[in-house]
Amino acid sequence: MKHYFQKGKDASKPVLLLLHGTGGNEHSLLQIAEMIDPDASVLSVRGNVLEHGMPRFFKRLSEGVFDLDDLELRTKELNDFLNNASVEYGFDRQNIVAVGYSNGANIAGSLLFYFEEALKGVVLFHPMVPRRDLDIPSMDQLPVFIGAGVNDPLIKMAETEELKEILEQNGATVTLFWENYGHQLTEAEVMNAAKWYQENFRK
């Protein structure tokens, strides 16, 4: 997959896996990684699917309606990519914290739904429930941060609560931060995600 890797100052830190929203690319979230942990390595990936020229991580049939076959294929493709990237760049595959926004948050969520221990932690900005028809692996105490908007036109508050519940039922420890805006990512969300990261990974 097309990507950007930058080795961090401190190799013991988690590798921040950046997953952009629809129409973004591997450069879109770099500033956010800097705000979360300026010393961590960064692996920022571009989605392999194009929708009217806009990169995404998997196909959709319409807004909010996912192509589940493609979601499965692309989730496995991303997981394989992470396995290979850890060998190529020499980092610990078990030490990845994903940071995804919108479509990127949805594939990050999907990684958790398919693969046990795919991630050490995850920041989901404006995620949906990736799918509802799987037996989900255990996420024993996996730290998850969700940032969501009370007026998000794409994601109802109930869907955010549903995702939190699914993750918690499978053992994850979820911190949910509500922002008063819509689908856009705000500075307050990023600052709260940075605080959550500090509490969980910089102790």
Active site residues: 102, 152, 183
Stretch that binds ligand MLT, among 37-45, 72-80, 101-109, 173-181 (CB under 6 A): 101-109
Which CB sits closer to ligand MLT, 102 or 192? Answer: 102
Cα separation, 122 vs 142, in Å, equals 8
**Positions 139 through 198 that interact with ligand MLT (CB under 6 A):** 154
CB atoms within 10 A of CB 137: 15
User: Judged by CB under 6 A, which of 28, 95, 102, 160 binds ligand MLT?
Assistant: 102
- Residue 180: strand, helix, or coil: coil
Does position 28 interact with ligand MLT (CB under 6 A)? The reply is no
Q: Tell me the closest approach of the beta carbon of residue 107 to ligand MLT, in angstroms.
A: 8
CB atoms within 10 A of CB 73: 14
Does position 75 interact with ligand MLT (CB under 6 A)? The reply is no
Which CB sits closer to ligand MLT, 3 or 60? Answer: 60
- Count of residues for the chain? 203
CA atoms within 13 A on the CB side of 105: 20
Stretch that binds ligand MLT, among 24-32, 34-42, 98-106, 134-142 (CB under 6 A): 98-106
Which CB sits closer to ligand MLT, 54 or 136? Answer: 54
CA terminus-to-terminus distance, the chain: 33
Q: Tell me the closest approach of the beta carbon of residue 182 to ligand MLT, in angstroms.
A: 12
Cα separation, 147 vs 145, in Å, equals 7
CB atoms within 10 A of CB 199: 12
Both tokens of 44, joined, read: 């920022």
Residues at the contact surface with ligand MLT, assessed by CB under 6 A: 21-22, 60, 63-64, 102-103, 106, 128, 154
